[in-house]
Amino acid sequence: MLTIPAEQTRCAVWGSPIAHSLSPVLHRAAHVALGLTTWSYDRREVDTESFAGALEQLDETWRGLSLTMPLKEVALQAAVEATDTARETGAANTLVRVEGGWLADNTDVHGITAALAAVGCDLASDAVTEVVVVGSGATARSAIAALAASGDSRDSGAVAARRVTLMVRDEARPETVAQARAAGLEVAVAALGEWPDADLVISTVPPSAGLPLDTLPTTDGGRTRVLLDVVYGEGPTPLQRGGQHRGWTLARGVDMLLHQATRQVSLMTGQPAPLAAMAEALYAVVDPVWGVRTSAGGR
Q: Residues 17-41: pLDDT tens digits?
A: 998 889 999 999 999 999 999 999 9
Residue 154 pLDDT level (bands cut at 50, 70, 90):
very low
Residue 295 pLDDT level (bands cut at 50, 70, 90):
very low
pLDDT for residue 210: 84
Q: Residue by residue, what is the 3-state secondary structure of the chain?
A: CCCCCCCCEEEEEEECCCCCCCHHHHHHHHHHHCCCCCEEEEEEECCHHHHHHHHHCCCCCEEEEEECCCCHHHHHHHCCEECHHHHHHCCCCEEEEECCEEEEECCHHHHHHHHHHCCCCCCCCCCCCEEEEECCCHHHHHHHHHHHHHHCCCCCCCCCCCEEEEEECCCCCHHHHHHHHHCCCEEEEEECCCCCCCCEEEECCCHHHCCCCCCCCCCCCCCCCEEEECCCECCCCHHHHHHHHCCCEEECHHHHHHHHHHHHHHHHHCCCCCHHHHHHHHHHHECCCCEECCCCCCC
| pTM over the 0.85 mark | yes
Choosing from 27, 63, 72, 141, the catalytic residue is 72
Give 184-191's long-range contacts (Cβ < 8 A, gap of 24+): 184/148, 184/151, 185/144, 185/147, 185/148, 185/151, 185/161, 186/161, 186/162, 187/163, 188/163, 188/164, 189/165, 190/132, 190/165, 190/166, 191/167
Structural domains of the chain, with CATH: 9-106+255-285 (3.40.50.10860), 119-251 (3.40.50.720)
Inform me whether the pLDDT recorded for 3 exceeds 90.
no
Q: Please, what is the average pLDDT of the chain?
A: 89
Residue 249, beta-bridge partner list: 226
Residue 72 known to be catalytic: yes
Inform me whether the pLDDT recorded for 292 exceeds 60.
no
Q: For residue range 29-75, what is the model confidence (pLDDT) as tens digits?
A: 999 999 999 999 999 999 999 999 999 999 999 999 999 989 999 99
Distance separating alpha carbons of residues 55 and 58, to the nearest angstrom = 6
Residue 107's alpha-carbon distances to 83, 209, 260, 265, in angstroms, are 10, 25, 5, 10
pLDDT for residue 104: 98
Residues making up the chain, counted from first to last: 299
Name which residue leads in pLDDT, 27 or 162. Answer: 27
Inform me whether the pLDDT recorded for 5 exceeds 80.
no
Name which residue leads in pLDDT, 134 or 299. Answer: 134
